[in-house]
Copies of this chain bind each other. A is one copy, B any other.
C-alpha cells in the first residue's frame, strides 16, 4: 500500500491526506473539504458539531443511529445539545414529520432551538431517499434556516441504488458522513463539508476528540483506494445485488422493500433458530430479523442463505 512505502509528515500533513479535498471536490463537482476519521460515530458527531451549538438541537429519525446506537455520542460531541427524534416510514424523515416536531417549539429561551436535521442515506431500515424526497427535505430545511447533515454509513449503497451522481444522492447537505468501513475500508470514514470553511473549526475538534491519528496517511490511503476507479461503487453494487438475491428468495417475508444491502424479514424465533443452526449470523428482534450483505459476501454463501430462507 502506497501509504507504507515511505515516511511522510504525520497527522494530516501528508501527501495522501492532501489529496482528499481534491478527490471529493471532483466527485461532488464543487469545492469540498474532507476530513478522515476512524468511525462513523466520530464522523456524524463532528459533522453535527459544525452545525449545532451546545444550547441547540438537531432533528433526527427516532431510529437514527445517532439517537440510539452511539451511546450518547452526540451529547458528548455537541456538549449536551438535544436530539429531537421524529417519525417517518422506512426510518426516513419528511418535511411533515420534522415539522410535527419543531413547529410546537416556541422560539423562546425555555426550549432548545433546532439548528439542524440529520438524515441517514440509506436509512437504518435500508431505505433510500429518492431525489424528489431529498429536494423536498432540502427545500424545507433551507426555508426553516436549518442545516442538513447526511449520515452516509451506507451512502455508497444508496448511490448504487439511485444510480445517480453522488451529489444528487445527498442534495442539499451541508455535510456528509461518507462511510467506507462497511464498504471495504478497515478504519476510515470521510466527513465531507460542502462549505469548506465549516471544516476549519472541526479540524480542532477532531484533534480534541483524539481522532487526529498521527499516521493518518493510512486512513487517507484507504479512502483514496476505494475512490479510485469507483471501487466504492462497485463494492456497493455487489452488496446490493447480494441483498436482492436474498430478497428474491423471501418475497412474502419482506418487512421493507430491499433497496440497499439490508434485508428485513419476518421470521419466527423457530425460523431464526433454523437459520442459525445452519451457520448464518444476523440480528433478530421479536418477529423479525435483519440480514446484511457485504461488498465481499461470497456468492455461494449468499446462495446458501437464499436457499435456506426459501426452504423455511
Interface residues of A (CB under 8 A from B): 11, 37-39, 41-43, 45, 53-57, 68-82, 109-113, 181-182, 186-187, 201, 203-215, 218-219
B residues within 8 A CB of A56?
72, 204
Q: Within the complex, what minimum Cβ distance (angstroms) separates A5 from chain B?
A: 13
Most buried by B among A54, A57, A68, A72: A72
Q: Are B207 and A41 in contact (CB under 8 A)?
A: yes
Besides A39-B213, A54-B76, A75-B80, 17 new A-B residue pairs in contact (Cβ under 8 A), listed by A number: A38-B38, A38-B210, A41-B210, A42-B209, A54-B54, A54-B75, A55-B71, A69-B110, A70-B110, A71-B207, A71-B208, A73-B207, A73-B209, A112-B208, A182-B214, A186-B218, A187-B215
B residues within 8 A CB of A78?
80
Q: Are B71 and A111 in contact (CB under 8 A)?
A: yes
Q: Are A207 and B79 in contact (CB under 8 A)?
A: no
Most buried by B among A43, A69, A208: A208
Say how many copies of this protein the assembly contains.
Answer: 4
Q: Given known contacts A39-B214, A80-B72, is B187 in contact with A109 (CB within 8 Å)?
A: no
| Cα(A218)–Cα(B186), bound, Å | 8
B residues within 8 A CB of A71?
55, 109-112, 204, 207-208
A55 and chain B: residue at smallest CB distance:
B204
Q: Given known contacts A80-B72, A80-B78, A82-B75, is B42 in contact with A207 (CB within 8 Å)?
A: no
| Cα(A248)–Cα(B92), bound, Å | 47
Q: Are B75 and A38 in contact (CB under 8 A)?
A: no
B residues within 8 A CB of A70?
110, 207-208, 210
Q: Are A211 and B39 in contact (CB under 8 A)?
A: yes
Q: Are A208 and B76 in contact (CB under 8 A)?
A: yes
Q: Are A55 and B218 in contact (CB under 8 A)?
A: no
A73 and chain B: residue at smallest CB distance:
B208
Q: Are A69 and B111 in contact (CB under 8 A)?
A: yes
Most buried by B among A41, A71, A80, A215: A71
B residues within 8 A CB of A57?
72
Q: Given known contacts A72-B55, A113-B204, A204-B113, is B187 in contact with A218 (CB within 8 Å)?
A: yes
B residues within 8 A CB of A43?
210
Most buried by B among A54, A69, A211: A54
Q: What 8 A-B pairs come out closest when comparing CB atoms?
A: A75-B80, A42-B210, A41-B210, A72-B112, A55-B204, A71-B207, A79-B79, A109-B207
Q: Are B69 and A204 in contact (CB under 8 A)?
A: no
| Cα(A148)–Cα(B77), bound, Å | 27
A72 and chain B: residue at smallest CB distance:
B112
Most buried by B among A73, A79, A215: A73
Q: List 22 A-B contacts (CB under 8 A).
A: A38-B187, A39-B212, A39-B214, A45-B210, A55-B201, A56-B72, A57-B72, A70-B208, A72-B80, A72-B112, A72-B208, A73-B209, A75-B75, A75-B81, A75-B112, A76-B80, A77-B210, A109-B204, A109-B206, A181-B214, A181-B215, A187-B219
